[in-house]
């Protein structure tokens, strides 16, 4: 099964992708995570993209599509995968099926902008196991520490208010048109992304099981 998750930054794509990946035993590919990994390792590519990522802009299509094409060759993608954060514009969407073959479903998580800034500025994650938290809505048991592995939680550099606002602007200008692109193809499912995380997951999982 090949899925694409769309939604503005902070819509919950990462959390939902992890849950879907476990349920359907398919890989979770976050292009943002792949790029952050390059930055962490200090590679040439990482250095090249760091400024643009920290400001909330989009990395060039060539770089991201080449990275994605490499990633899906790995063994864990044989049964399928969930793309989280790709495509981010219509050009990427138009080129995607040449890389992946036909997609099964595109899921769009719908969340209003005013909910997003609040969600994202409180977002924290575990650098070791990837578990996500929110300082107000989903805090860890011990402040600043991961419940599962005890690692010190971190805040993404691009989760500050100014960058979040820019990322929302970029989303509306470049990524939102991708929704219509997939609606026209007849594979789009729009889900309300506000509410209980498990309810949102169950709605999508049952639709995919049919």
Please give the positions annotated as active site.
13, 88, 123, 156, 167
- Least CB distance to ligand AMP at residue 47 (A): 14
- Least CB distance to ligand AMP at residue 183 (A): 19
Residue 110, burial from CB neighbour count under 10 angstroms (0-12, 13-18, 19+): middle
Phi and psi at residue 53, in whole multiples of 5°? -65, -40
Is residue 201 near ligand AMP by the rule CB under 6 A? no
Task: Give whichever of 11 and 188 is closer to ligand AMP, judged by the CB atom.
Answer: 11
Can you tell me the distance from the alpha carbon of 35 to that of 32, in angstroms, rounded to the nearest whole number? 5
Report how far apart, in Å, the C-alpha atoms of 189 and of each of 55, 76, 124, 184 are: 30, 25, 28, 12
Q: Are 107 and 83 in contact (CB under 8 A)?
A: no
Question: Interface mask (CB under 6 A) for ligand AMP, residues 42-71, using x and -?
Answer: ----------xx--xxxx----x-------
Interface with ligand AMP (CB under 6 A), residue total 18
- Nearest residue (beta carbon) to ligand AMP: 32
Is residue 86 near ligand AMP by the rule CB under 6 A? yes
Stretch of 25-33, 95-103, 112-120, 186-194 lying at the interface with ligand AMP (CB under 6 A) = 25-33
121-141 burial, b at 16+ Cβ within 10 Å, e below that, comes to bbbbbbeeeebebeeeeeebe
Task: Give whichever of 44 and 143 is closer to ligand AMP, judged by the CB atom.
Answer: 44
Cis peptide before 68 (omega within 30 of 0): no
Is residue 35 near ligand AMP by the rule CB under 6 A? yes
Residue ranges in 163-192 that form contacts with ligand AMP under rule CB under 6 A: 167
- Output the CA torsion sign for 167, 54, 83, 92: positive
Is residue 7 near ligand AMP by the rule CB under 6 A? no
Can you tell me the distance from the alpha carbon of 200 to that of 194, in angstroms, rounded to the nearest whole number? 8
Which chain residues interact with ligand AMP by CB under 6 A?
9, 30-32, 35, 52-53, 56-59, 64, 85-86, 88, 92, 158, 167
């Amino acid at each position: 099964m090949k899925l694409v998750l769309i939604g503005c930054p902070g819509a919950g794509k990462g959390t939902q992708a992890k849950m879907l990946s476990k349920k359907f035993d398919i890989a979770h590919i976050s292009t943002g995570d792949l790029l952050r990994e390059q930055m962490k390792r200090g590679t040439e590519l990482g250095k090249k993209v760091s400024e643009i990522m920290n400001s909330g802009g989009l990395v060039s299509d060539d770089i991201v599509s080449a990275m994605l094409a490499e990633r899906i060759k790995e063994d864990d993608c044989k049964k399928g995968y969930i793309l989280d954060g790709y495509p981010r514009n219509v050009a990427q969407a138009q080129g995607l099926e040449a890389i992946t073959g036909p997609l099964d479903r595109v899921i769009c998580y719908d969340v209003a902008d005013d909910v997003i800034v609040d969600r994202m500025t409180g977002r924290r994650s575990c650098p070791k196991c990837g578990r996500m938290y929110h300082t107000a809505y989903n805090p860890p048991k011990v402040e600043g520490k991961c419940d599962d592995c005890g690692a010190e939680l971190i805040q993404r550099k691009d989760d500050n208010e100014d960058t979040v606002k820019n990322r929302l602007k970029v989303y509306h200008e470049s990524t939102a048109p991708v929704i219509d692109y997939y609606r026209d193809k007849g594979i789009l499912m729009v889900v309300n992304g506000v509410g209980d995380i498990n309810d949102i997951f169950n709605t999508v999982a049952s639709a995919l099981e049919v």
